Structure 1
Amino acid sequence: MQVAISISEGRLSSATLMRRLRSNSRKNCIYKVFREVGRSVRTVALLRYLADPALRARVTAATNKVESYNGFFQWLGFGNNGVIAHNDPDEQEKLIKMNTLLANLVIFHNALDLWTWSARWWPRAGPSPLMSSGRSRRTCAHIRRFGAYATDEIAQESAAFNPELTEIDFTAVGLAA
């Protein structure tokens, strides 16, 4: 309580407190107190988890959902089996972001497919088995990880790029240059 009051009154800066806690000194009283408070909070959380079956079910469901996404994310990553071979943090971040974007696009596409399918199916046959089971029966079987590319269109000339954008009236929105 003294630490919280000292920080709120401005007598102790949070940077100073963090510097004292980072030292990991066993002699530091603040470190010992926070370590014991953390242990008691963890113990209370574990006791609640053990005593409440509904909480355990929620935690298990959330964990399974995250693990399922991580498995899908790993399956979707191709090229070197998803192993990031670069030591450059920028390259690592770029690869992870691109794989996340790809995973989100596949999930969005699946959601659109399910929505289209259920919109056609729902009015005729009563409750949807997809909606009642709580999960889709289709997971990754319909996804072509490496794509299907038509090579007969490679020889066709594409239309020339027009940077002028004459078909758009920018004066209407006040963006005229």
Structure 2
Amino acid sequence: SAPVFALSYLLGIKLMPRIRNWKDLSFLRPTEDAQYQYIEPLFKGTVNWHLIKTHWFDMMRVVLSIKAGKVMPSTLLRKLSSYSKKNRLYQAFCELGKVVRTMFLLEYISNMKMRREINAVTNIVEKYHHFLDWIFFGKEGAITDNDPIEQEKRLKYLDLVASSLILQNTVDISLAIQTLTARGEIINHRDIEALSPYPTRHLKRYGDFIVNLNNIPQPLETAINLPPEIFET
């Protein structure tokens, strides 16, 4: 949303989301007399610079509060949006966000390499979230506890379990690659690029999990010791 673009910009973060329906978004021209030869139909409004200027220091106070840890960005956006029709500060965030979003969209539609990179990174993030959903199957992934401390524990435990599984998957894949290369199989960088640390078919989610502390795994530097030639282009 526009306020998210504004907050990210003020926090020094370049937000680069994948936007499928960018044609439905409003592009803002800097002034009413600004005209563009080939992309004129995209622009549907003009920036209200006065609104942004009037509430600029208020927005900076909000950003400083976030950086100081006094307020969470999600909490702030939720609180402001509940009064969006009356809250001029929220409207200023929206206006600034539309400016930042317009600049991003202009770069997005004109830079194919950028679109490909954003799409690739977004796919990785979505795969990770799908992996987390697969792990967190209890109660369909819902955190029903109202205690913030317990909620935080559940999220941290989920990250811990996910990281452990990703590490084990990486070790297993690396050992498989070492076995194949030892047999004389040719594995190039394109094969490696297609691999993912999120496979789940071999994982068991149900039943008893027995931890054998006497079964010491091999050192990681031995397990993940891939021949350098497979990374050559």
Mapped partners of 1:107, 1:122: distance in 2 = 22
Residue 39 of structure 1 and its aligned partner are, at CA, apart by: 2.6
Preserved CA contact (<8 Å) 2:181 2:187: yes
**Structure 1 residues 141 and 85: CA distance shift in structure 2, 3 A:** same
Residue 128 of structure 1 and its aligned partner are, at CA, apart by: 5.5
**Structure 1 residues 41 and 131: CA distance shift in structure 2, 3 A:** same
Mapped partners of 1:76, 1:142: distance in 2 = 13
Higher-Rg member (1/2): 1
Partner of 2:175: 116
Q: Which amino acid aligns with 1:139?
A: P
- Mapping for residues 1-177 of structure 1, pairs under 5 Å: 15=61, 26=88, 32=92, 36-123=95-182, 124-127=184-187, 131-132=191-192, 134-136=194-196, 139-149=199-209
Greater per-residue helix proportion: 1
Higher relative contact order, chain-length normalized (CA < 8 Å, sep 6+): 2
Mapped partners of 1:17, 1:74: distance in 2 = 32
What SS does structure 2 have at the residue aligned with 1:125? Answer: coil
Residue 36 of structure 1 and its aligned partner are, at CA, apart by: 4.5
Question: What RMSD over aligned residues (CA atoms) do the two structures have, in Å?
Answer: 3.5
Preserved CA contact (<8 Å) 1:122 1:128: no
Mapped partners of 1:104, 1:84: distance in 2 = 20
**Structure 1 residues 59 and 129: CA distance shift in structure 2, 3 A:** closer
Identity across the alignment (%): 30
Preserved CA contact (<8 Å) 1:73 1:99: yes
Aligned residues: 135
Q: Which amino acid aligns with 1:131?
A: D
What SS does structure 2 have at the residue aligned with 1:135? Answer: coil
Runs of 4 or more off by more than 4 Å in structure 1?
Answer: 14-19, 22-25, 34-37, 147-150
Mapped partners of 1:53, 1:130: distance in 2 = 21
What SS does structure 2 have at the residue aligned with 1:92? Answer: helix
Mapped partners of 2:63, 2:204: distance in 1 = 53
Residue 41 of structure 1 and its aligned partner are, at CA, apart by: 2.1
